[in-house]
Amino acid sequence: MSKEVAEVVLGVDKLLPVEYVKVKALKPDLRKVNLIVRVVKVWDPRVVYSRRDRSEHRVAEALVGDETGCVLLNLWDDQIDTFSTDEVFKIRNGYTKLFRGFLRLNLGRYGEAKKVDREVGEVDTENNLSKKFYESSSFWTTPYRRRRRRY
């Protein structure tokens, strides 16, 4: 991880340094990812239904990046309304996953995105990490995995 930008966050009992990484350092299955990115584009939301409780959710994708590259960020429900083109966000506690073999950045339940007044250079859209196909070698990520029974 690069230590180009560091911020001190007040922890429970001590001060914890937060390291911000560049987009080019992202790879599959990372956790606790901290980035400062500019939004290049936000696509229109679509409606999906939860498998658990059949509730309706809105999902959209945003292309975000910095001067080293860009990646697709998944946005859910209220997050969609906060993101718009050419704004700079500080993403904390994000994680990366593969979706159909392509890299995605997610905020999840514990991640957060805050708008900041910081300048990010021109986004390198030529180095789009979400266009690179990754071979998954893990048994659990195969499409033929055995499902658990629900009782």
Report the CATH number that the domain containing residue 37 is assigned in CATH: 2.40.50.140
Phi, then psi, of 34 in degrees rounded to 5: -120, 125
pLDDT band at 145 (very low <50, low <70, confident <90, very high): low
Q: 75-111: per-residue pLDDT in tens?
A: 998 889 999 999 999 999 999 999 999 999 999 888 9
pLDDT band at 135 (very low <50, low <70, confident <90, very high): confident
Residue 3 located in a structural domain: no
Residue 112 located in a structural domain: yes
Number of domains the chain is built from? 1
Least reliable range by pLDDT among 94-98, 141-145, 147-151 = 141-145
**Cβ(96)–Cβ(45) below 8 Å:** no
Residue 86 located in a structural domain: yes
Predicted confidence at residue 13, as pLDDT, reads 47
Residue 11's SS3 state is: coil
β-pairing verdict for 33-42 and 56-66: antiparallel
> What is the rounded distance in angstroms from the CA atom of residue 149 to the CA atom of residue 118?
49
Q: 57-74: per-residue pLDDT in tens?
A: 999 999 999 999 999 999
Residue 146 located in a structural domain: no
Residue 80 located in a structural domain: yes
Tracing tokens 């997610």 back to the chain, one arrives at 106
Predicted confidence at residue 18, as pLDDT, reads 83
Q: Is 78 left (phi over 0), alpha (psi -120 to 50) or beta?
A: alpha
Q: Considering the chain, what is the average pLDDT of its residues?
A: 84
Q: Is the dihedral of CA 51, 56, 57, 58 positive or negative?
A: positive
Predicted confidence at residue 42, as pLDDT, reads 94
Residue 17 located in a structural domain: no
Residue 16 located in a structural domain: no
Residue 110 located in a structural domain: yes
**What is the residue range of 75's domain?**
22-124
